[in-house]
Structure 1
Amino acid sequence: MKIALLGYGKMGKVIERIALERGHEIVLRKTSSDNYDGLENADVAIDFSVPSSAVRNISTCFDTNIPVVSGTTGWLEQYEAVVRECREKDGAFLYGSNFSLGVNLFFELNNYLAKMMANLKEYNVTMEEIHHTQKLDAPSGTAISLAKGIIENSAYTDWTMETAKANEIHIEAKRIENVPGTHTVTYNSEVDFIEIKHVAHSREGFALGAVVAAEWIVGKKGIHTMKDVLNLM
């Protein structure tokens, strides 16, 4: 499989190493330049760039008829527009706020716990996410996905990084050196608390999941998620 890497920072380099170990070929390593030379030779593109570049990268893939997997966060206010463009151009697109296989199982656990806790009004849910100091967006895309999972399965209606109002989930974002990613969901009451947590040891899990998703999407059309890749529907 021939892969175009749209974004060649720390994550891009780990993705490259894992892709090569799995027998794939890298035909484009795009940095901050606008040079897409080689994209037309790719079977699939993996976008781990920056928020200001993500939408253009994804759109260029649609124009070139290249399926694209994106793990860039911080641009999701344009997600619905990207979805419309993908459908209009008969493209293939998979966005993941976190490609770690373990995190995607954690998403399912979070959804199930939210359903169980929905009628227990004595419990208040809060969230915490910790990442390295180079992470540009806050809260993380993973934290937002976790919050959305709770909202879809409970009476909560929104999330906030400020003081939470009724039916809002408070998310605390911390930036600490050399932390790949830690996410904690806590249900607290006067008598006890219930907590679920995912701790990433390195970028390896994110990179492996992105390559697995890229392998899966080749030959497909439409909008997909890691649920499809892992058959968690």
Structure 2
Amino acid sequence: MNIILLGYGKMGKIIERIALERGHVVTARIDVDNSDAFDTAEGDVAIEFSHPDAAFNNIRRCLSRQLPVVCGTTGWLARKPEIETLCRQQNSTFFYASNYSLGVNVFFKVNEFLAKLMNNFPQYDIRMDEVHHTEKRDAPSGTAITLAEGVMKHLTRKKSWVNDQTGKSEDLFIESFRIDQVPGTHVVKYESAIDDLEIKHIAHSREGFALGAVMVAEWLKDKKGVLGMDDFLKF
């Protein structure tokens, strides 16, 4: 498989190494310094881990070329509906996940199941913590937002997530920490006067994210439409 990398930072380099180990060819490495090279790059699929300011345009260009694109960039999701509409109009292929780790996607399902149970116990308030490396630009993380959306789907007393404490009972507070060399930690906490309950996922490296993205790119062959991890993992 021939892969175009859109974004060649730390994640892009790990994705490249894993792709090569799995027998694939990286035909282009597109970053901020050589974005024009995308116009002549040839590949079977693009893997997009760039910057929130670049992601929308990167994906749009892929869709216009009928180039399947696997995206893991967060921080641009206000425009994701536009991309989904464009993908369908172009009969192209767009795969997005806030996190490509198998463990995190199991964690998403555990989080939703727990929220459904805790909806019956209003004495518990809920909050979330997320910790990432200092180079991560967006806060809260895309993974934290996905977790919050999973909670709000089932916990009717929470209406929206916030990244600063407002004191409103209907807000789900996500506290973001940026610490050097932390790949990613997410904690969902239910707290009451009697006891606390929490679930946690700790990533030890970026390897799981990169491997998942490459495996999705392999799976994406001959598929069309707007896809995500539920489709890939058959949850």
Whether these two folds match at TM > 0.5 is yes
Cα RMSD for the two superposed structures = 0.9
Structure 1 runs not aligned, ≥5 long: none
Partners of 1:98 and 1:177 in 2: how far apart?
Answer: 20
Q: Does 1:205 align with 2:227?
A: no
TM-score computed with the length of structure 2 as normaliser: 0.96
CA 18–38 in structure 1, closer or farther in 2 if over 3 Å, else same: farther
Corresponding pairs, count: 231
Structure 2 runs not aligned, ≥5 long: none
Deviation at 1:162, TM superposition (A): 1.8
AA in 2 matched with 1:162: D
Q: Percent identity?
A: 52
Matches within 5 A, 1:68-107: 68-107=69-108
**CA deviation digits over 1:161-218, x for unaligned, max 9?**
1224122111000000100000000001111111100000000000001111111112
8 A contact 1:46–1:210 mirrored in 2 = yes
Match of 1:195 in 2: 198
Runs of 4+ in 1 over 3 A off after TM superposition: none
**CA deviation digits over 1:34-59, x for unaligned, max 9?**
220453x2111100000111011101
Match of 1:141 in 2: 142
Partners of 1:78 and 1:208 in 2: how far apart?
Answer: 26
Matches within 5 A, 1:1-233: 1-32=1-32, 33-35=34-36, 36-39=38-41, 41-155=42-156, 156-164=158-166, 165-232=168-235
AA in 2 matched with 1:203: R
AA in 1 matched with 2:199: I
AA in 2 matched with 1:15: I
AA in 1 matched with 2:210: A
Q: Which has the higher mean CA deviation after the structures are superposed, 162-171 or 93-102? A: 162-171
3-state DSSP of counterpart to 1:150: helix
Deviation at 1:28, TM superposition (A): 1.0
Partners of 1:87 and 1:80 in 2: how far apart?
Answer: 11
8 A contact 1:28–1:37 mirrored in 2 = no
TM-score computed with the length of structure 1 as normaliser: 0.97
Partners of 1:184 and 1:81 in 2: how far apart?
Answer: 31
